[in-house]
Amino acid sequence: MSKKLFVLSSILAAVLASAVLPWPAEAQGVCQIQAIRPVHVGENLVRVQVQYFISPTHPKPCLIGAYVPNRANQSPSFGIRPANPPGGVPKGQQSFRDDLFIEISYNGRTPASTETIEAVIYDADGNLCTSVLTLRRAWGSVPYSFLGDYPRDREPGWSDECQGVTHDEKYWYITQKGTLWKFPVTFNLNEGITRTKREKGIWNVDIPRFLRDEGYNHFSHPDYHNGRLYIPLEGRQPCKIVVFEPERLNYVAEGNLDTAIQDHAPWCAVNPADGMLYTSNSDNNAGLFVYRHEIKDGRLELRYSHLLKLYDEKGNPIKIHSVQGGAFSRKTGLLYISSDRGSDGGIFVFDPKTGIRIGVIRVNYSQSRYGEELEGLTVWDLDAAAVPGIKGQVHLIMIDNWGTGADDLYFKHFAVPLEKQ
Residues 404 and 301 in one domain: yes
**pLDDT of res. 402:** 80
* pLDDT at 28 (0 to 100): 54
Please give the residue range of the domain that contains residue 211.
Answer: 145-419
The reply to whether 70 and 184 lie within a common domain is no
Give the span between the Cα atoms of 384 and 214, in whole angstroms.
45
CATH of the domain at 54: 2.60.40
Which pLDDT score, from 0 to 100, does residue 196 have? 63
One domain, residues 154 and 125: no
The answer on 129 and 150 residing in a single domain is no
Contacts of 74 (CB under 8 A, 6+ apart): 20, 67, 68
What's the confidence (pLDDT) of residue 273?
97
Q: For 46-105, give the DSSP string.
A: EEEEEEEEE-TT--S--EEEEESS-STT--TTEEEE-B--TT-S--EEE--BTTBEEEEE
Beta strand pairing call for 45-54 and 92-94: antiparallel
H/E run at residue 369: helix 367-370
Q: CATH number of the domain that 239 lies in?
A: 2.115.10.20
My answer on whether 104 and 152 are in the same domain is no
Average pLDDT, the chain: 92
Q: pLDDT-based confidence at 200, cuts 50/70/90?
A: confident
Q: Indicate whether 313 and 274 sit together in one domain.
A: yes
The verdict on 128 and 241 lying in the same domain is: no
- When mean pLDDT is compared across 164-168, 219-223, 401-405, 411-415, the lowest value belongs to 401-405
* Residue 406: closest CA among 151, 159, 150: 159
118, 225: one domain:
no
- For 93-151, write each residue's pLDDT tens digit: 999 999 999 999 999 999 999 999 999 999 999 999 999 999 999 999 999 999 999 99
pLDDT of residue 1: 41
The pLDDT score that the predictor gives to residue 197 is 73
261-281: buried (b, 16+ CB within 10 Å) or exposed (e) per residue? ebebbbbbbbbeeeebbbbbb
Give the domain-ending residue among 106, 139, 172.
Answer: 139
Q: Which residue has the higher pLDDT, 196 or 52?
A: 52
Sheet with 287-296, edge to edge strand ranges: 268-270, 277-279, 287-296, 299-309
pLDDT at 195: 64
Q: Per the structure, how many domains does the chain have? A: 2
If asked whether residues 93 and 178 sit together in one domain, one would say: no
